[in-house]
Structure 1
Amino acid sequence: MGLTDLVLVNPRCFPDDEATRLAAGAEDVIDAARVAETLSDAVGDCVQVVGASARLRSMPLPHYDEPDEMARDVVEKAITDPVALVFGRERFGLTNDEIGHCSHQVSIPANPDYGILNLSQAVQVLAYEVFRAWRRRPGSGFIPQRPAHDRPPTHEQLHHFHSHLSRVMQASGFLTQPHAHTEKQLQALFARAQPSRKELSLLRGLLSALEPKDAGEN
């Protein structure tokens, strides 16, 4: 998911052949991982530290109920300063003392009948949300530039299209007189459809083919 700066806090065993074997193509992340004696040391240079845990009412920290909200915030801050996502142990997560070193908490919504995710699942979900938020930023390189003909039409182009459509409807006898209600309904229909410039051009070509030659053009 593009996260490469892994810090392990007082690991029981590291380096570890089993961890490397399970890295599944991310061995470089394991090889470059840093070890810190304490969580405080690990996050000392971070401007935002988000602990992944169930909401603790006894900890008055800002809390993200939705991971995507957290992701947008940390990605924005990470442009200029280090940020951290903190995960606890597989068996019992983060202690209250460790959460006390965090500036925020985040929870992952889950089925209330079984709302527990294992560590790897929690890491994957939050890492994905961060990656998703990052790739949506302008300049990330992941947002493809739409060709001009695939872009939304301008207000002027839509105005000319609806004028053309109205003219053809009247010339064909579909409307025997200007009918504002029908035209507004059609405008709303095309607003919902959100045609591209290319599609709008195709529709105007169709209207031109149907339009009587003496009806005049816009």
Structure 2
Amino acid sequence: MLSNIRIVLVQTYHPGNIGQAARAMKTMGLTDLALVNPRQFPDSEASRLAAGAEDIVDAARVVTSLDAAIDDCVQVVGASARLRSLPLPHYDEPETLARTLVEHAENDPVALVFGRERFGLTNDEIRRCTHQVSIPANPDYGILNLAQAVQVLAYETFKAWRQRPESGYRPPRPRGERAPTREQLDHFHAHLSRVLADSGFLTQPHARTEAQLQALFARAQPSRKELSLLRGLLRALEPASDE
């Protein structure tokens, strides 16, 4: 299950922070590290500060976009200060997030996404997530560095994994009942946007309306079977193409 939990670091500036994040991961049994456009990697400083977690650094997957790091994940949680302007579901407590994350990770990959050292994730990157999470801290000085943030959420995830109910062997959840991947959700939202535009419901780009619809379906958490049903409904509403 822990191997299904991915840590994603976006545009890390200092290579040493990659090593420290890898060390934080390994102490909590996490091994899957994806790096989105790191400024400098591979780098000896990343290996040096990994301090025993060099295997995670060496196995890290480098990709050129956030989508490439999360497309196969059924839950993608962006770590950031709470942005009320973005209507995504938000976890105020990492402990609550961790229980949900571990539940999804029983059958499919999930991801925790961390942004740049100086200003975190952009709004567009958070919109690529299914949820947000914030780490409660001193309101007068709530600044955690990258590795500290990874350590806190990795610890909560490991604790939730250790405390999960043990009831012997549990067969995998049927595929249709599992949560859709980020890629499947993207296809659905693109399809929904086309139908809304073709129907005249949207007469011009409405980024906020589409963001609110995305948040609605993120809260609803449809299964793959339910998402397929919705796609069928959208196809039925589309005008027949001219042959």
The Cα offsets for residues 32-67 of structure 1, whole Å up to 9 and x where unpaired, read as 100111001110000000000000011100000000
The structural deviation recorded for 1:138 is 3.7
Give the structure 1 partner of residue 49 of structure 2: 22
Where do 1:1-218 residues align within 5 Å?
1-139=28-166
Structure possessing the higher relative contact order (Cα contacts under 8 Å, 6 or more residues apart): 2
Letter in 2 for 1:91: R
% same residue: 79
- SS of the equivalent of 1:49 reads strand
The Cα shift of 1:139 comes to 4.5
Partner-residue secondary structure (3-state), 2:42: coil
In the TM superposition, residue 140 of structure 1 has moved relative to its aligned partner by: 10
Paired residue type of 2:133: V
Larger Rg: 1
Which amino acid in the other structure matches residue 124 of structure 2?
Answer: D
Q: 1:85 to 1:140 in 2, by over 3 A?
A: farther
**Separation (CA, whole Å) in 1 of partners of 2:57 and 2:75:** 23
Q: Which amino acid aligns with 1:127?
A: A
- Count of aligned pairs: 141
Following superposition, the deviation at residue 13 of structure 1 comes to: 1.3
Q: TM-score, normalised by structure 2?
A: 0.56
* Alignment correspondent of 2:183: none
Contact 1:134/1:140 (8 A) holds in 2: no
